Amino acid sequence: MKLFLTSDSDWEAKISRITNLLYDTGYTHFFEEQYYGSSLDCVAIVLMCQDPSLNLKQRIRLSKKERTIYMDIMLDLNQFLKIEQKEREKIVVEKLINEVPAIIRKYRLEDFDIIKFESDLKNWMIKIL
């Protein structure tokens, strides 16, 4: 399965540092070798950390044809501007671990092994803490 992680963020939030740290753990290669069932081939995640005045809403979409779930993980820009990088990393990792499986659970995916996926996700994401 492919796990795709990117960001759409204000540069001052320094989210790209976090995505780079996560990429350096090798999670992309690990997840490509995993099989969680035929319901999903890809989980695409966008870390959103933009000016609140833009009133951006969280986007979540399941494409059964592509067997891909697309989701935004919303981050608070005002908070991220005030905290240190280690705290940013901790917040992002916690949101990924908690929100991604919860979003996937909302869909009736017949043979998706959410327990194994959730465990693998947690084990890889905490590597940057």
Kindly list the distances between the CA atom of residue 47 and the CA atoms of 36, 87, 110, 113, 122, in Å, as whole numbers in the listed order: 23, 15, 27, 24, 17
Q: What is the pLDDT of residue 128?
A: 87
Mean pLDDT in order along the chain per 10 residues (129 residues): 97 96 94 96 98 96 97 98 97 98 94 96 91
The first and second tokens of residue 94, run together, are 């916690």
Q: What is the pLDDT of residue 70?
A: 98
Full-model pTM: 0.94
User: Where are the chain's structural domains?
Assistant: 2-124
Q: What is the pLDDT of residue 72?
A: 98
Sign of CA dihedral 17, 19, 20, 24: positive
Q: What is the pLDDT of residue 129?
A: 85
Q: What is the pLDDT of residue 121?
A: 97
